[in-house]
Amino acid sequence: MLIDLSGRTALVTGSTQGIGRAIAAALADAGARVAINGRRPEAVESACAQMRAQDPGRQLIAAPGDVTDPAGADAVLAAAGDVDILVNNLGIFGAADALEIQDDEWRRYFEVNVLAAVRLIRLTLPGMIARGWGRVLDIASDSAIVIPAEMIHYGMSKTALLAVSRGFAKEAAGTGVTVNSVIAGPTHTGGVEDFVYQLVDRALPWEQAQREFMRLHRPQSLLQRLIEPEEIANMVAYLSSPLASATTGAAVRVDGGYVDAILP
């Protein structure tokens, strides 16, 4: 199965590290011109340099800026150019006692995890529709369906993102543009390592800490390990391609069987 994104321009938010960086690499390896995004220009330039060192043939654009801010989003899109593939990957998460989460924190999670994606879809979808082709992918989470007691504000934001994806898919109906969400399960990133150590003994070696985390906090995972970022990226690359032309308005799971349901 050949995934060919030659001639397409992709923007992946929050792509200097973790899942976003893996997605950007997968899209670039499929031939897309990929805009790398992060808040700090130096982090974006560093990520681009490292990714080019791994494969000099990758077409990468530095697109620094804070997409949670309207002016920042405009600057990012100005650097990226006409976007054919939008991957809303940027997100924040963290453990917090439900009764201790204050209004400002609820707003922050909504603005970063939901409103930033809405803003970028609103700015890029008309161009995709006019050109008759496009892909929008919102990176959601198993927490959208199985709300974790230790971070219900995060779960709320990812549930909202599923609704955003479905709604904009209806807006793009019949245009050649697809809009989907990807439900990522517990994934191994630097940020998740920090999160794991919030919940298990920090003295444990990483492999043991990971197993303890899955046993105590994610026991329903059928994979019984954390997912690697590249495994999420593989699904995103497929959904970004012409091969996935009949998949839209969907919430596609890459969750290691974590969600104990036949449908999301």
pLDDT confidence band for 1 (50 / 70 / 90): confident
Residues annotated catalytic, as ranges = 154
Report phi then psi at 9, rounded to 5. Answer: -110, 130
Residue 195 lies in a domain: no
Query: Domain of 58: which CATH number?
Result: 3.40.50.720
Q: Return d(Cα 36, Cα 205) in angstroms, integer.
A: 32
Residue 86 lies in a domain: yes
Q: What is the pLDDT of residue 215?
A: 93
Residue 20 lies in a domain: yes
Residue 1 lies in a domain: no
Percent of residues, the chain, with pLDDT higher than 70 = 100
Residue 208 lies in a domain: no
Q: How many separate domains does the chain show?
A: 1
Strand, helix or coil at 183?
strand
Residue 121 lies in a domain: yes
Residue 166 lies in a domain: yes
Q: Say yes or no to pLDDT of 189 above 90.
A: no
Structural domain harbouring 127 = 9-187+227-254
The residue among 11, 74, 88 whose CA lies nearest residue 44 is 11
- Tens of pLDDT, residue by residue over 192-228, are 888 899 999 999 999 999 989 999 988 999 998 899 9
**Stretch 229-234: mean pLDDT:** 98
- What does pTM read for this prediction? 0.94
Q: Which residues contact 162 (CB under 8 A, 6 or more apart)?
A: 138, 140, 144, 181, 183, 251, 264
> Residue 180: beta bridge partners?
137
- Tens of pLDDT, residue by residue over 70-108, are 999 999 999 999 999 999 999 999 989 999 999 999 999
The residue among 254, 216, 257 whose CA lies nearest residue 235 is 254
Residue 38 lies in a domain: yes
- Average pLDDT of the chain is 96
